Structure 1
C-alpha cells in the first residue's frame, strides 16, 4: 500500500511539472520519513550514493559524449550520403534515405531524440522544400528514430541492463534483428504513402556497384565503427562501458586526424553539451536508487509476480498485457523515467513467468521509446514539430501508417521470440 502511494506521488509530481529527478527523489525519500518505517533516514542517502558507484553506468556519459562529438567529426554527413546512394532510387527517396540513416545512426548516437533532432535540421527542411508535407516529414523523422532504441549502442538498453541485471552485451546483439525488421517495416509504410502521393525518387535508377563502393569508401570509417563495437563486446575485448571509451577515442581520432573536420572548439562545445545532458540524466538515475530500494523493500515485484502468474498462465498473454501497459505509460511519461521506475518491478515478474529478460528488454525499450513519438507528451514529436513548424494534429494523422508498422513489428517480436533471441543465442 505504501509503495503504491509513493508511485502515485511520483507520477503526480511529474504531471504538475516538477523536474523528474526531484519528483522521484522526493517520493522515494518520503518513505523513510513515514511513521512506522523501521529504517534510518541515512539509508536514503546511502542508496543515492551507491547508485553513482556503478562501473556499467560509465557507458551512459560516454555514449552521450559520443553523440555530441559525432556531427563535428564528419561522420553524420558521410552517413547521409551513403543512405541517399542506397535508398534514393526508391519512391519517396528522401524519406527512405532518412530511415536508412536512422538505422546507421543507431550505432552512433544511441538516442532517438538526438537522431530525430539532427535529421529534422539536416534533412527535414529540405524534404518540406521538395514537396513533402510537414506532418509526413515530422512523423517519419521522429518515428524513424525509434530504430535507435534497439540497434546498439542504445542508451535505454544500457540502463535496462544495469537496473535489471541483464547482460548489456547480449542486449546489444539481440537488438540488431529487431532494428533491421523495424527499418524494413517503416520503409514499406513509407513506400505505401509515397505511391499514393506520388513522392518521387531522388535518383533515376538503383545505384551501381561502383557507386555503392564509392559511397562506402567515403564513409568507411563511419560505417566501420559499430562493427568494431559489436565485435569487441562479443569477443570480450572490452565491456560495454569500455566500449563507450573506445567509441569516444575512435571518434576523436577519425574526426581530428582522418576526416580533419573536428576542431578543438568542436570538442569543447561537445563536452559542454554533454555536461548539461549528463547532469539531468544522472540526477534521475541517482534518485531512482532510493525509489528502487523502496520498491524492493516493500516486495512489490514479488507480489506483482504472484498476481500475474495467477492471472495469466500463458507467458505470451502476459507479454501482450504488459506491452499494452508500457505503450499507454510511454504516451504519458518519458522513456528514461519509465525504465528507471519499472525495470526493477517488471524484470522479476517476467523472469518468474519464464520469459527471457533479454527478449522482454527489447520489447520494453521499443514501446517506451515509441511513446515519446506519440501524443500527448512525446518528446521527439515536440522536437521535430518545433523545428519543422508543423501542427501536432497533422503530425498525428500522418503518423498512422508508421504507428501500424511499429505495432506490427512488436507483435512479431512477442509471438516469435526467436526474432530477438536468435543472434544472442548464436554468438553468446
Structure 2
C-alpha cells in the first residue's frame, strides 16, 4: 500500500495525466510488492469496462454534444431571461436559471459553464456588472450539472457503488434545485448592493415569455423523456441515454434546423473522443481500486473511523472533508473511482443509505470542480470571461458558501435526497 501511495503522489507531482497515474502506480505496486503476473492488469481493465450500464456514457455525451450544436443553449437562456429578466441583478439570475435548464440536458458541468459564459459574459460587461463575480457564479451554477439529472457523474458513481441509476437521478433533483435557488439568493444579495447597473431590468411581458417558452419547449422534452421513461418502466437508464441521443438529433435537425447533416461526422468524433477519455480512466482506475481492495484498505480505514466514532454523522463529515480535499486536486471521475470503493463499504457498515451517501459524493464532486487549484469549471469560466483565475477565485467566497450550506443540509437531513426516490417507489 505504501508503494502505490508513493508512486501515485510522485507521478501526480511530476504532472503526469491522471489516467496514466492510476495505471502506472498500480503496475509499479504490482511488480514490486506482489507475485501476481502483470497480465492481470489487462484483465482488470477489461473487467472494469465490462458493464452494460457504462454504455450510457457515450449516449449521454452524444446527446449533450448534439443539443449544444443544435442551438439549445441559446434558447434556454432566452427563456430564462424572459421569465426572470425583471429581477434585481437579472443577468446573474438568468445565468443560474439557465444553468439548471442546461443541466437537465447535457449532464456536463464544464460544457454548461462554457455555454452560459459565452452567452452571458458579453451582456455582463455591457451592463456594467462585476465580471469576476459573474464568472464565479456561473462556474458554481454550471457545476450543478453533476447533481441535476441526467448526469454522467451519476452514471459512473452508480456503477462503482452498485446503486440504481434511476434512484440516484431522482435523488439529485431536490438538492440540485436547492443549490440553484441558493445561488440565486446569493446573486440577489450581491446585486442589491451593487448600484443602479443591477437594477436596469427588462420589462416582463407574457408575449415574450410565450414566444421563448415555445422555442425552448423541445429542449424541455429531453429531461421529461429521460426521467419519465425510467420512472414509467418504459426503458432502462442505459436505453434512456440512447433515446435521448436520438431525440436530440431529431430536435437539432428537424425542429430547430440549427444542426446540419454535414456536422454529424465531427460531432460523432467529438463524442468518441470525450467518451474514450472517460472509459480509459475507468479502466485504469479498476486496476488501482482492485489493488487497494486487496491491500484491505477499506477494512483498515473503517476500523480507524469506528475507533474515532460510531456516529453516522461523524463518518459523513469525515467523508465530506476527504472528498472536498481530494476534489481540489483530482478530476471528478478519478476521485470517485479511487475513493468511493474505499468509503462505500464503510458507509454500508455504518448503516448509511447508499443513495444518500452517493448523493453526498456527487455534491462534493460538483463543489470540487469549482475549488482551486484544479477546479475545471473555474478555469473554464475564467477563460471565457478573459479574467485571471486568481481574480475570479477571490469572488468565489459567497457562491461557495451557498453550495456548502446545501451540502451541510443534505448531510444532516437525509430526506432531502431520499424523499423523492421514496415517493416514486424506487427505494424503501
Name the TM-score class by shorter chain.
over 0.9
How far apart, in 1, do the equivalents of 2:112 and 2:15 lie? 26
Residue in 2 aligned with 1:241?
238
Task: State the secondary structure of the residue aligned to 1:181.
Answer: helix
TM-score (norm 2): 0.95
Task: State the secondary structure of the residue aligned to 1:374.
Answer: coil
1:121 and 2:118 aligned: yes
How far apart, in 2, do the equivalents of 1:378 and 1:302 lie? 31
How far apart, in 1, do the equivalents of 2:110 and 2:71 lie? 20
From 282, 289, 293, the equivalent of 1:292 is: 289
Q: What is the alpha-carbon root mean square deviation over aligned residues?
A: 1.6
| Structure 1 residues 208-357: aligned runs within 5 Å | 208=206, 211-357=208-354
How far apart are residue 349 of structure 1 and its match? 1.1
Listed as ranges, the gaps of 5+ residues in structure 2 are none
User: Quick one: structure 1 residues 281 and 128, their matched pair in 2 at CA, closer, same or farther if it must change by over 3 Å?
Assistant: same
How far apart, in 2, do the equivalents of 1:192 and 1:134 lie? 16
From 146, 151, 154, the equivalent of 1:149 is: 146
Task: State the secondary structure of the residue aligned to 2:69.
Answer: coil
How far apart are residue 382 of structure 1 and its match? 1.5
Deviation string, structure 1 residues 288-326 (Cα, Å, up to 9, x no partner):
111111111122112222221231211012111211121
Asked whether the equivalents of residues 94 and 201 of structure 1 are also in contact (C-alpha less than 8 Å), the reply is no
Residue in 2 aligned with 1:416?
413
How far apart, in 2, do the equivalents of 1:149 and 1:278 lie? 16
How far apart, in 1, do the equivalents of 2:139 and 2:239 lie? 30
Task: State the secondary structure of the residue aligned to 1:71.
Answer: helix
From 19, 22, 29, the equivalent of 1:21 is: 19
User: Quick one: structure 1 residues 351 and 92, their matched pair in 2 at CA, closer, same or farther if it must change by over 3 Å?
Assistant: same
Residue in 1 aligned with 2:198?
200
How far apart, in 1, do the equivalents of 2:20 and 2:32 lie? 18
How far apart, in 2, do the equivalents of 1:98 and 1:259 lie? 22
How far apart are residue 165 of structure 1 and its match? 0.8
How far apart are residue 335 of structure 1 and its match? 1.2
| Structure 1 residues 33-48: aligned runs within 5 Å | 33-35=31-33, 37-48=34-45
How far apart are residue 205 of structure 1 and its match? 4.2
Runs in 1 of length 4+ with deviation above 3 angstroms?
201-208, 210-214
The size of the alignment, in residue pairs, is: 424
1:163 and 2:168 aligned: no
Deviation string, structure 1 residues 186-232 (Cα, Å, up to 9, x no partner):
00000000001124356444454x54343322211111210111011
Listed as ranges, the gaps of 5+ residues in structure 1 are none
Asked whether the equivalents of residues 49 and 283 of structure 2 are also in contact (C-alpha less than 8 Å), the reply is yes
How far apart, in 2, do the equivalents of 1:38 and 1:77 lie? 57
From 127, 131, 135, the equivalent of 1:130 is: 127
